[in-house]
Structure 1
Amino acid sequence: MTATAAPDEIAKFDALAARWWDPKGPMAPLHAMNPLRCGWIANHLAHAHGRDAAALGGLTVLDVGCGAGLASEGLARLGARVTGLDAAPAALEAARIHAAEGGLEIDYRQGMPEDLAAEGARFDAVVALEVIEHVTDRRAFLAALAGLVQPGGMVFLSTLNRTARSFLFAKLGAEYLLRLLPRGTHDWKLFVTPAELGAEARAAGLRVSAISGMTPGLPGQAWRATQDVAVNYIVAMRRD
């Protein structure tokens, strides 16, 4: 049960469950970037299935490390049949309550991706957003994600690059200066460069098909996809 998730990381995010859906709370950065993440995923997934942009009706999507369901709800509202997976029980309870209040049918499950893969579960797409920088074994994690997607299916990851700029903005700035995130949310040494992610993905049988930077706009403006991957970035990968 602990092959890819550390108990202290689970406890850290479980403790934030009650404030997960507060757009001005500790998850404010995720609220701000969520429309971009979900829209980017939906467009690439729909294109892979020969559909119009963001037409996800009937497609099965697994949201690994779903927390209280920000991305799960965003993708469900775009028509996907979503399963949310997380190891944090309090966060999952917050997810179930919020989905019920919004009239959304999302299958939330407690566990690890390797457990679900061992059951033989398969999905059209697997997403893991702002998760891989918190896992204990990236190679095992990517192998589990690859095992959960149908052959030819898509895996989507978003994470933080390990650069001087990410240390300045995502670690020092966000956690200590602006206090957008609780201190200790991230360990900069665990941030992942695109080259590292690409090589480890290939070892798991996944091939990167698209990558974009995610850049915050000016105050009051939405996040946008850019070519700048120095801090936040999102990746689409296809299973061989």
Structure 2
Amino acid sequence: MQGNKTEMAHFAALAKSWWNPRGPQRILHKMNNMRMDFINSTLGPSITDPNQNTSKLTVLDIGCGGGLLSESLARRHYVQSVLGIDVTPEVLAVANSHKLVDPKLTNLKYELRSVMDLESVKQSAEKPTFDIVTMFEVLEHLDDPKEALKLAMSKSSQYVFLSTINRTLAAYISTIALGEYVLNIVPPGTHTWSKYINATELESYVLGSGVNSESIWDVEKLQGCIYLPGTGWVRFDDQSNYSTK
């Protein structure tokens, strides 16, 4: 359950420029800020406000890439530890190298693992699951996203934050036609149209189809976004976070 070799090669080629906010990953840098805003607003002040919350959460970041989100989360006062996993050695090397720039990031570590390895991933022997699991822009690169999501959800005790590309004409134009062939934001072949997942399909993966036979998951918030050149990321009110009841 991982992307094909062509897709993985694209991410390997992007590794050296991962932390360059003006490079090929510049849109990802801007998206990361939006993701963190979404996570904080969804968790709410009872968790994110240091005056209200003294407990700390553990995080598993699936498909962490060069570590943009992993580092952002590791720096949050409400986060105890972050484990980032990815299948591309080149981007993990970049993530580990960048982590060393900040000696305070002792609560962050990375491992070379695929989604298929999730069953063996544990926070600790005493607590095998994580409080939060993030899986951003991963599902649309997998051959079996439904099963991958099932594994990801099994690793969370509280929240699963998801993000994937909606299979719409607007998404095709913005991510493939413009993003890959006109603006050259990402290399051609990075995305596969047939692997894009509609919001209704994503909901069905979570709420039905045997993802969780005990139905312990609720859709807490569903939010869409689109990148507009010259404007940046624009969010659509209420359309990607799933939490246990």
Shorter-normalised TM-score: what interval?
Answer: 0.7 to 0.9
Q: 1:175 aligns with which of 160, 180, 185?
A: 180
1:61-76 matches, cutoff 5 A: 61-76=59-74
Q: 1:156 aligns with which of 137, 142, 161?
A: 161
What CA distance in whole angstroms lies between the structure 2 residues aligned with 1:188 and 1:118?
A: 31
1:125 pairs with 2:127: no
TM-score by length of 2: 0.84
Q: 1:51 aligns with which of 47, 54, 57?
A: 47
What CA distance in whole angstroms lies between the structure 2 residues aligned with 1:87 and 1:57?
A: 31
Give the SS at the match of 2:223: strand
Contact 2:87 2:112 in 1 (8 A): yes
Give the SS at the match of 2:242: strand
| Cα RMSD after superposing both structures | 2.3
- The code of the aligned residue for 1:183 comes to P
Aligned to 1:207: 218
Aligned to 2:36: 38
CA-CA distance at 1:143 after TM superposition = 1.0
CA-CA distance at 1:177 after TM superposition = 1.0
CA-CA distance at 1:51 after TM superposition = 2.5
Instruction: Encode CA deviations 1:76-131: one digit per residue, 9 max, x unaligned.
Output: 12232211011111111100110110232311011123423235531001001111
CA-CA distance at 1:6 after TM superposition = 3.6
Instruction: Encode CA deviations 1:173-203: one digit per residue, 9 max, x unaligned.
Output: 1111111111111111111100000101123
- The code of the aligned residue for 1:33 comes to M
Give the SS at the match of 1:83: strand
Whichever of the two has the greater Rg, that structure is 2
- The code of the aligned residue for 2:159 comes to M
Structure 1's 88 and 62: CA in aligned 2 closer, same or farther, altered over 3 A? same
Give the SS at the match of 2:47: coil
Contact 2:137 2:164 in 1 (8 A): yes
1:223 pairs with 2:225: no
Specify every segment of 5 or more residues in structure 1 that has no aligned partner in the other structure, as ranges: 230-234
Aligned to 2:7: 9
Give the SS at the match of 1:223: strand
What CA distance in whole angstroms lies between the structure 1 residues aligned with 2:228 and 2:188?
A: 23
- The code of the aligned residue for 2:93 comes to E
Deviation beyond 6 Å, 4+ runs, structure 1? 54-57
Instruction: Encode CA deviations 1:192-223: one digit per residue, 9 max, x unaligned.
Output: 1000001011232243210112234663x653
Give the SS at the match of 1:107: strand
**Number of equivalences:** 228
Give the SS at the match of 1:160: coil
Q: 1:111 aligns with which of 105, 110, 113?
A: 113
